[in-house]
Amino acid sequence: MTAYLEGKNIVVTGAGNGIGRAIALGCAGAGANVVVADYGVSLAGADPSSEVAEAVAAEIEEAGGTAVAVAADISTMQGGSSVVQAAVDAWGSIDGVVCSAGILRERMIFNMSEEEFDDVVRVHLKGHFTVYKHASAIMRKQETGGSLVGITSGAFTGSTSQCNYSAAKGGVISLTKSAALALRRYGINANCIAPSAKTRMSENVPFEIEAGAPEDVAPMAVFLLSDAAQDITAQVYTVIGPRISVWAQFGEVRTMFAPDQGGWTPQGIEESLPRTIGVEEHPTMALLAQQAAQRQASEGSG
């Protein structure tokens, strides 16, 4: 990836660990100047520290790259502004952002507290907004435009014990697509990566998932930040090990109409829906059913 991002100034949030760290190192290896932004908190969002950001920045500089470490809470407007401004102050402009900061508060929906829900949505979703807002405000005035890269997850389709995380990651996709529509005229593209990698966050997933390494995600992020991807926008790409997939754009797949001008009745829907539009099977439902069957079989044999 040498020189792929030569001269570009990139902000990576959550860059102290896992996927964010791998992306920050990948951007630096591709020639970018990198703001290593990380609040340095635990998975639960406690005990902030600048040590992790500083360690990654030092690692970049030891390898011959250029980096600035910033420990800021990107879930606040001031924090989002500070990580963007760090790039402008250091190098005069900002060319791209990658938002990988996040925390987890895992609990079933009927046991989840308001604070547990709000904290996760605040860091993941609002943390994207604060960085996107401040970065795009500068990028739109630059002749070179820029790139926004959101980090979502396949969990946006639903999660058994992380409804807060799932809701936030779904919001990241909608936010990023909205940014893509609004900012296209200014030469700014916006895309999402939905990675699956073995990190400290993925250890809490309640069932086995396909996962690669954090380093597998970096090349896709570098590509989306580069001039080669300037015409690619409003896309969601899965990255798992050697596999990259693109998600379908959301849209209606089948339609039914009321048989007369009287409109629908509940009974009419009951009769028509199964033989017309039907339902769309949720892929995770099959996995959960399989796990339930395995548990029953195991209990029966015991």
Q: What is the CA radius of gyration of the chain?
A: 21
Give yes or no for residue 207 having a pLDDT over 50. no
Q: Which one of the listed residues 4, 39, 132, 165 is annotated catalytic?
A: 165
Q: For this structure, is 39 an active site residue?
A: no
Give yes or no for residue 185 having a pLDDT over 80. yes
The residues spanned by each domain of the chain are: 9-246, 266-301
Q: How far apart are CA 17 and CA 284, in angstroms?
A: 28
The pTM of this model reads 0.89
Q: Please give the sequence-ordered ranges of beta strands (E in DSSP) within 31-151, or none if there are none.
A: 33-37, 66-70, 96-99, 146-151
Q: Model confidence at 35, in pLDDT bands (50, 70, 90)?
A: very high
Instruction: Write down the pLDDT at residue 198.
Output: 59
Structure confidence by residue, pLDDT tens digits, 69-120: 999 999 999 999 999 999 999 999 999 999 999 998 999 999 999 999 999 9
Q: How far apart are CA 28 and CA 65, in angstroms?
A: 6
For domain 9-246, give the fold.
Answer: Rossmann fold (3.40.50)
Q: How far apart are CA 153 and CA 261, in angstroms?
A: 43
Reading the block at residue 272, the tokens are: 């028509």
